[in-house]
Amino acid sequence: MFGQLGSFTRTTMRRLFFAILFVPALCAAAAAAQKPNILYLLTDQWRGMATGYAGDPNVKTPNLDRLAKEGVNFSNAVSVCPVCTPHRSALMTGRFPTSTGMFLNDAYLPSEELCMAEILQEAGYDRGFIGKWHIDGHGRENFIPAERRQGFDYWKGNECTHTYNHSPYYSGNDPEKKFWDDYDAFAQTKDAQGYIKTQAGSGKPFALVIAYGPPHFPHATAPDEYKKLYPPDQLKLAPSVPESQQAAARKELQGYYAHCTALDRCIGDLLATLDETGATENTIVVFSADHGETMGSHGNRPAQKQVPWVEAACVPFLLRYPAAQGAKGVTVKTPLTTPDILPTLLGLAGVPIPASIEGDDLSAAVRDPANAGDRAALYEGISPFANLGPEGKGNDRNYRAIRTSRYTYVRDLNGPWLLYDDETDPFQMNNLVGKPEAAELQKDLDARLQAELKKRGDEFREGQYYIDLWGYNARAGSSISYRFNAEVQSPKKRASVK
């Protein structure tokens, strides 16, 4: 065993973990080949309510509606910190932003963190990544070398771009910048189809993450053929959008929905490829997003995220796995937060879950949806870095929140802030905080939130505390991002705050 340990390149503890848990399994190649494939479809800024199956009266998503009928719909999925980099880091590690320091955009997730592809590599998987990475922290245009790809082998990625019709990427270890043809989501999908066809006949399981840029703004750059489907004056707005935001919301929603329908076409193409290759039965397919989009609701301008309301914090989460799924076309109300995703996938795949992972394995809710229970899913605004609210009066407060199967409860640094009954008030227009009839409910939810914070060792302090703790530079002018100080945030520093 000690000879095998020496072949690994991570820390001693990581090598020991893999030696104990994975080496016996890897000796059985046939068993590895029986593990399910994983196809993870990650979109950017797609809010949970913006699908046909979720009841949006505007958007056309026939392929997602099909996936919902064939899979399990987690209707109370939240983004652990509703902005790009924090969600992606939590997805890859199964850990909370307060544990990794990844609570700001453009931060660097160091290689010392144990990530999805590294775990799956040891379990015998081929690992592919296509699209927007946004956890490298070395500049949005820069080449990402193999040692900073967290275990992904097949690579057609970029750090961050939203120039969808002239989108750059890097292929494998070639440092020369390339560009996707036309609308990048279509080209990325074709590339993914080729990968699936190759891997489906290899006798080895694959895990492919496709990280699309849309429907993140700019919305006007969506394909014209899809924008024509959504005349702005015919769009129905949510009741939570005040009159002052309606004109802007209609303008942005045309392109937003167009991006959604274009991506729905991509998803249909991928599902067809799984069918054609005979891989459907043994492939876990997930469709989700890194965060949502307020689109004018609650007085927030279109483009706002990070805030705790349902439009920004809740994301779609569909999971289809025919070989192990207990039922199809079911809605599970059990709440799910981002760190739960990785252990759930590992649980479904029969891969041991490392001790570093902090999220919960919810695979039982997939296998037996009828008996899925309630829980409190934690999400948080640790140090919101952009004030995009109306007239400079944004809601970029520090907060901690939980989502249960029925309620949303939020505290800011001053105390209870928001409480909604999501069953009777799905657009969150009636804040119950401080109302006598909700006093006992508020007390109970506050206790549940405090229990989650205690479990995470989170004292819930002001944003600057976390910025100082993790060694980030101060805000630069009006920039929406803090920049990562690699010298301060060393592996030793990271280990000291876990």
Among 200, 116, 217, 239, which residue's Cα sits nearest to residue 163? 217
- CB count in 10 Å sphere of residue 152: 25
CB atoms within 10 A of CB 183: 21
H-only helix segments in 124-242: 184-200, 224-227
Query: Which uninterrupted H or E stretch holds 421?
Result: strand 415-421
| Distance from C-alpha of 445 to C-alpha of 260, rounded to nearest angstrom | 34
Residue 103: its H or E element? none
Instruction: Please say whether the beta carbons of 471 and 488 come within 8 A.
Output: yes
Q: 291 catalytic, yes or no?
A: no
Assess whether 134 carries a catalytic annotation.
Answer: yes
Phi, psi of 402 (to 5 degrees): -130, 150
Beta carbons of 367 and 325 less than 8 angstroms apart: yes
* Rounded Cα gap, residues 1 and 9, in angstroms: 15
Tell me how far apart the alpha carbons of residues 450 and 226 are, in angstroms, rounded to a whole number.
45
Residue 97 CB: number of other CB atoms within 10 A? 29
How far is it, in rounded angstroms, from Cα 91 to Cα 55? 26
Strand arrangement, sheet containing 330-332: 178-179, 168-171, 154-158, 126-132, 206-215, 37-44, 283-289, 317-320, 72-74, 330-332
| Catalytic residue selected from 87, 115, 134, 314 | 134
Q: Count CA atoms within 13 Å of residue 126 on its CB side.
A: 18
The active-site residue out of 81, 84, 266, 314 is: 84
Work out the number of other CB atoms within 10 angstroms of the CB of residue 474.
Answer: 9
* Burial category of 438 from C-beta neighbours within 10 Å (exposed 0-12, middle 13-18, buried 19 and up): middle
Angle ∠(291,309,470) on CA atoms, nearest 5: 60
Strands 399-403 and 407-412: antiparallel
Is there a contact between 407 and 445 (Cβ–Cβ < 8 Å)? yes
Catalytic positions are: 84, 134
